[in-house]
Structure 1
Amino acid sequence: MEQGERLRGQSRIKGIEKYRKRKEKKLKAVLFVGHGSRLEAGNEEVRQFIERMRPDIDPALLVETCFLEFASPNIDDGIQLCIEQGADEIHVIPIILLHAGHSKLHIPAEIEEAKGQFPDIRFTYGQTIGIHNEIFQILKSRLQEVGFDCTAKHEDTAILFIARGSSDFDAKEDFYQISRLLSEQINVPIFESAFMGVTTPTVEQGIERCVELGAKKIIMLPYFLFTGILMERMARMAVDFTEKYPVVDIDIANYFGYHPKLQNILLERLHQAIDGTSTGMQDLENFRKYVAEHGYEHHH
């Protein structure tokens, strides 16, 4: 970065040259965008997840995976990979749970920048996972895996629903709506929400609240797609809470992972991008308006 400008290396120039030389080859590509993790196991889970999806994706589509940060290739390189293979149309699909800064600003910034570099390439943008019926089935299946019967009434049991945390108002609103809808589908006397960072209540506060309300058993339910540093931290927290509250049974459910219903959602988001019904295109328009009004310094 130099005064807010990202410096381009020779690889970018080579990518443009390859694109120009192979311009006669017309292909469509889908570029999945994961968040990226400092824990490489989480990045590998994203790659393997997309590999498992390939049989359900139109074989005529090129399929590439990239990351916002902490992992390679980044979005810039992912777009180049698609173009170097002959793509003249790229559907960019975020693998992101909630609609916040990454999906509103960072990914649109990459797409808009690429459009300037490659004016002959058509880009479409998919929407985030957001509030979708399938996510409740995923969450309930993860609860069942730790012995929770979603059809039964539970006495003295608390669910602590845990998200990453965001300063974005829309993301928090969506998370609380998901929390409310999930709480209506399972019969527990205590259902609390918490965040791993950025905002409150914290996980510690959530646990304390559950204990104060009389919970004898607490299930920590992560609202995370794949493993990562925060999932490892949550596991350590569960151990600490067990020591702090020895009379309370504290368990931790699994994250989304390789759930087939997660594949269904992303395939739906891809089809929406292709057929023009994705709200992602409005996000690109909103981003352009935002830049016109406020400017934008690109950090990714």
Structure 2
Amino acid sequence: MNAILLIGHGSRDPEGNQELLEFARSVAAKSPDTLVETCFLELTGPTISEGIAACAARGASRIVLVPIILFAAGHAKIDIPMAIDRAKAKYPEIEFVYGRPIGVHEKIIEILQSRLAEAQPVAAVAGAGRGAVSEAEVSDQDTAVLVLGRGSSDPDANSDFFKMTRMLWEKLPYAWAESCFIGVTRPSYPEGLERCLRLGAKKIIVLPYFLFTGVLIKKINDMTLEFAEAHPEVQVEIGGYFGFHPRLVELVLERVHEGLHGRVFANCDNCQYRLVAQEHHHHHHDHDHGHDHHHDHDHDHHHDHHHDHHHDHHHDHEHTHNTADQAAKKVNGL
């Protein structure tokens, strides 16, 4: 029996965790013949191990683990594979398939376009009245779209975020589409807003690149309203996060289908470098739940190769960093 285990990040905001659970029910409704369970990486439960145990208790013989995470960074490259390693030892009779995170996909562009079309003046979204503000028509050539991401210490994830902004801009009539982050890395959100001003934007539409609500979404609304009040000469609108968009459900089901029936890109299960990174993660990872995953290695982890990713294969990565040979020797016991 097949089971789908959806892995959410987890939030300090119970509302965000509840939205992930509701989203999982939407996925389950589209997969009536498959067991569906939900778990979280941190900050709330059930944990990954508890989610796997729930699947096993319901009779699963194969579990497809799909991260409900936007980009592959520390959690997707290290934490989840470690949990799968432990589960393989505990449940040798179960086949584990690791699906891809949401990643770079045309359906995300469609979601962004949809949220862009629904954008509203930030005062309305934040519940603050600005009085009678003139909203004169601003031309597309005077409009900037500012895509706002979470931010990561993994350059791979950050570069994918910039790629998505570029892909979005290709489909828009607006003069600019800029990228910025709310934390961890730069350009920061205030720097992104300032850049739009310096480019000459008379209207800025902020697009939060987030799956569900949470502490950061509420912080973003407050920061955007503060900026708008400080710059009354600029129209400032804000779009919604991804939420329960039907394209997101379709994309997650596509990731599940890849695991069950197709071919999945590598997720580092047997990558020799990961084993060394795993030790680094245990001994040097400052896990303050602010998610500043400072892996002190440069790891261009694009995985442009294809293979069946069922966690019982061996593949050779030609990593072009200085620790590759040492990692291989360590794994081979040399």
State the TM-score bracket (shorter-chain normalisation).
Answer: 0.7 to 0.9
Structure 2 counterpart of 1:202, from 177, 185, 188: 188
Structure 2 counterpart of 1:235, from 221, 238, 242: 221
Please give the secondary structure, in 2, of the residue aligned with 1:63: strand
After TM superposition, give the deviation of residue 272 of structure 1 in Å: 0.3
Structure 2 counterpart of 1:278, from 264, 268, 293: 264
Structure 1 counterpart of 2:15, from 37, 41, 44: 41
Rounded to whole Å, the distance in 2 between the matches of 1:292 and 1:190 is 42
One-letter code aligned to 2:256:
L
Given that 2:78 and 2:278 are in contact with CA atoms closer than 8 Å, whether structure 1 keeps it comes out as no
1:167 is aligned to 153
1:146 is aligned to 119
* Distance 1:118-1:158 versus aligned 2 partners, 3 A rule: same
After TM superposition, give the deviation of residue 153 of structure 1 in Å: 6.3
* Distance 1:294-1:73 versus aligned 2 partners, 3 A rule: closer
1:88 is aligned to 61
Matched, 1:297 2:282: yes
1:56 is aligned to 30
Please give the secondary structure, in 2, of the residue aligned with 1:191: strand
Identity of aligned residues (%): 44
Structure 2 counterpart of 1:157, from 134, 143, 146: 143
Matched, 1:127 2:97: no
Rounded to whole Å, the distance in 2 between the matches of 1:91 and 1:170 is 24
**CA offset digits 1:157-192 (Å, max 9, x no partner):** 111111000111211111111111111110112221
Given that 2:120 and 2:239 are in contact with CA atoms closer than 8 Å, whether structure 1 keeps it comes out as no
**CA offset digits 1:251-300 (Å, max 9, x no partner):** 110000000000110000000011241125x42122x6421576352979
Rounded to whole Å, the distance in 2 between the matches of 1:164 and 1:203 is 10
One-letter code aligned to 2:86:
E
Rounded to whole Å, the distance in 2 between the matches of 1:203 and 1:54 is 36
Q: List runs of 5+ in structure 2 lacking aligned partners.
A: 122-137, 290-334
1:74 is aligned to 47
Rounded to whole Å, the distance in 2 between the matches of 1:240 and 1:292 is 45
Given that 1:64 and 1:82 are in contact with CA atoms closer than 8 Å, whether structure 2 keeps it comes out as yes
Rounded to whole Å, the distance in 1 between the matches of 2:89 and 2:282 is 16
Rounded to whole Å, the distance in 2 between the matches of 1:132 and 1:252 is 22
After TM superposition, give the deviation of residue 155 of structure 1 in Å: 2.9
1:10 is aligned to none
Given that 1:153 and 1:187 are in contact with CA atoms closer than 8 Å, whether structure 2 keeps it comes out as no
Please give the secondary structure, in 2, of the residue aligned with 1:233: helix
Provide TM-score, normalisation by structure 2. Answer: 0.76
Structure 2 counterpart of 1:110, from 60, 63, 83: 83
Rounded to whole Å, the distance in 1 between the matches of 2:7 and 2:176 is 35
After TM superposition, give the deviation of residue 89 of structure 1 in Å: 1.4
Given that 1:29 and 1:61 are in contact with CA atoms closer than 8 Å, whether structure 2 keeps it comes out as yes
Rounded to whole Å, the distance in 2 between the matches of 1:78 and 1:164 is 26
* Distance 1:206-1:293 versus aligned 2 partners, 3 A rule: closer
**CA offset digits 1:83-126 (Å, max 9, x no partner):** 11222211101111111111111111111111112222210000
Rounded to whole Å, the distance in 2 between the matches of 1:128 and 1:33 is 10
Q: How many residues align?
A: 268
Rounded to whole Å, the distance in 2 between the matches of 1:242 and 1:293 is 43
2:239 is aligned to 253
Q: Which has the higher helix share?
A: 1
One-letter code aligned to 1:285:
N
Which piece of structure 1 moves more, 249-258 or 79-88? 79-88
Task: Give runs of ≥4 in structure 1 deviating > 2 Å.
Answer: 292-296
After TM superposition, give the deviation of residue 230 of structure 1 in Å: 0.8
Structure 1 counterpart of 2:162, from 155, 176, 184: 176
